[in-house]
Copies of this chain bind each other. A is one copy, B any other.
Amino acid sequence: MQNQIIVAFKKIVGDEHVLTNKEDLLCYSYDATPGYSHMPDVVISPGNTAEVSQVLALANKEKIPVYPRGSGTNLSAGTVPMKGGIVLLMTRFREIIEIDAANLVAVAEPGVVVSNLNKAVEEFGLIYPPDPGTVATATLGGTVSENAGGLRGLKYGVSKHYVMGLEVVLADGRVIHCGGKNVKDVAGYDLTKLFTGAEGTLGVITKITVKLVPAPETKKAMMAIFSKLDNAGNAISAIIASKVIPATLEIMDNATIRTVEDYAHVGLPVNAEAVLLIEVDGIAEVVEKEAAKVIEVLKANKADDIQVAKDAAQRDRIWAARRAALPALAKLRPTTFVEDATVPRSKVPDMIRAVNNAAAKHKVTIGTFGHAGDGNMHPTIVCDLRNQEEMIRVHKAMDDIFAAAIALGGTLSGEHGIGLGKLPYMKDQFGADGMNVMQTIKKALDPNCILNSGKLVGEC
């Protein structure tokens, strides 16, 4: 990048907010996704919307790639600057502008850490439901752009279900506003939803209005052990068919159970084909009634054992087992790929079997756990990125997993986004015409293709 352009960026945001030292740039050359890294030319950290607008206008004029970034916790290489250019660091946007309890909304800047937003709204008896595993470090802007989900997705959905309004800077620097505090708002195209989950390829989000919901009065957690995977699968569908929508309905397969037990010694049955972890929430009367119904369904579907948490300590122990799944699997080998192939919930057992077949066929280690209630599985492949022969097998296993998800009526991503990791499979899901529609929208809104160039919809 020419020095005079760097000087121009420094004039816009101030010298101290433009990083060009190699050791600084290195920190922004990768994110939480294994296998992708590239050095940016510059890291620019704007302080307000007007600065973002000026930076983008100049970048657009000079056709410099721009990679918006929060904390870089995403799992699809969404923030890696693969073509160099600018990493646009949004972490200075850290103000919670308003908590409007009467309208059940909050307005915040994209650099606010999600758990900080949740702490702030808790005082009003409210919650912001999306809770990815990275909630303590991930930013609101990143989670909205990646459409992050979490453990409560079954009952509460993913980020897009909570984004009500946005301020967005377009590729050429123009600033638009869409949506707002209105519960019902059907005026015009749903630009709010278009920019949400667009992974920074259509614009840079500078302000976010989110929906809040009343915090549940109480919760009840339980664990059910199944010697047969199919019984667990049937139980998942039967719980929903009984009209109970638990806040959380998680599954761990045998490989995950063995690994967690070996790692954390929490007393999991290592011969079980599946364990379900369930939590219902709401007002006390509902929680008791729903918990009773869930237990009835679990028994009817041949759960070998059901443990209901009687107090907070027992509840914590159940969720500790689930939280141990990823670190336990990650400890097995140097590299961890956490995928998020998702299927309609009735297809969860088919999907787990397909993952196990892929693991056997390609001789790779895969533990599967995840959000069974919403069909959002996390087949987790542990391997060593430095072993090229193994990586070929890993990618063949991924091919099989994503093909199975699509064949079962599923989707490539339930909550992690597409980025680069899943880009090769997009055409399989959307077809050539579907991809062309997305690329047409991308080119219409970002004619020079400067925004997160090459991601989500590929080259344009």
- The 0/1 profile, CB within 8 Å of B marked 1, for residues 69-100 of chain A is 00000000000000000000000000000001
The reply on A414 being an interface residue by CB < 8 A is yes
The reply on A241 being an interface residue by CB < 8 A is yes
Q: Is B103 within 8 A of A346, CB to CB?
A: yes
Q: How far is the CA of A153 from the CA of B202 in the complex (A)?
A: 30
Using A194-B194, A342-B182, A375-B182 as known contacts, say yes or no to A440 and B444 having CB atoms under 8 A apart.
Answer: yes
Residue in B191, B422, B434 whose beta carbon sits within 8 Å of that of A178 in the complex = B434
Determine how close the nearest CB of chain B comes to the CB of A192; give it in whole angstroms: 9
Residue in B103, B146, B154, B422 whose beta carbon sits within 8 Å of that of A345 in the complex = B103
Determine how close the nearest CB of chain B comes to the CB of A237; give it in whole angstroms: 4
The reply on A34 being an interface residue by CB < 8 A is no
Residue in B184, B426, B437 whose beta carbon sits within 8 Å of that of A149 in the complex = B184
Residue in B103, B286, B345, B413 whose beta carbon sits within 8 Å of that of A183 in the complex = B345
CB-defined contacts of A191 to chain B, threshold 8 Å: 434, 437-438
A contact residues, range: 35 or more
Using A160-B190, A190-B160, A190-B194 as known contacts, say yes or no to A184 and B374 having CB atoms under 8 A apart.
Answer: yes
Q: Is A182 within 8 A of B240, CB to CB?
A: no
Q: How far is the CA of A362 from the CA of B190 in the complex (A)?
A: 34
Q: Is A409 within 8 A of B189, CB to CB?
A: no
CB-defined contacts of A10 to chain B, threshold 8 Å: none
Q: Is B414 within 8 A of A185, CB to CB?
A: yes
CB-defined contacts of A102 to chain B, threshold 8 Å: 237, 240-241, 344-346
CB-defined contacts of A185 to chain B, threshold 8 Å: 342, 411, 413-414
Q: How far is the CA of A241 from the CA of B102 in the complex (A)?
A: 5
Q: Is A189 within 8 A of B194, CB to CB?
A: yes
- Which residue of B has the minimal Cβ distance to A242? B214
- The 0/1 profile, CB within 8 Å of B marked 1, for residues 442-456 of chain A is 011100000000001
Q: Is B153 within 8 A of A183, CB to CB?
A: yes
CB-defined contacts of A154 to chain B, threshold 8 Å: 183
Q: How far is the CA of A45 from the CA of B374 in the complex (A)?
A: 38
Q: Is B441 within 8 A of A443, CB to CB?
A: no
Determine how close the nearest CB of chain B comes to the CB of A459; give it in whole angstroms: 15
Determine how close the nearest CB of chain B comes to the CB of A289; give it in whole angstroms: 6
CB-defined contacts of A181 to chain B, threshold 8 Å: 344, 409
Q: How far is the CA of A441 from the CA of B104 in the complex (A)?
A: 31
- The 0/1 profile, CB within 8 Å of B marked 1, for residues 359-384 of chain A is 00000000000010111100000000
Determine how close the nearest CB of chain B comes to the CB of A335; give it in whole angstroms: 24
The reply on A258 being an interface residue by CB < 8 A is no
- Which residue of B has the minimal Cβ distance to A443? B444
Determine how close the nearest CB of chain B comes to the CB of A171; give it in whole angstroms: 11
The reply on A267 being an interface residue by CB < 8 A is no
Q: Is A438 within 8 A of B189, CB to CB?
A: yes
CB-defined contacts of A198 to chain B, threshold 8 Å: 189
CB-defined contacts of A456 to chain B, threshold 8 Å: 188-189
- A sample of 8 inter-chain contacts (CB < 8 A) reads A146-B186, A174-B433, A180-B410, A184-B342, A184-B374, A188-B430, A189-B198, A283-B286
- In order of increasing CB-CB distance, the 6 nearest A-B pairs are A285-B285, A184-B414, A147-B186, A444-B444, A214-B243, A193-B193
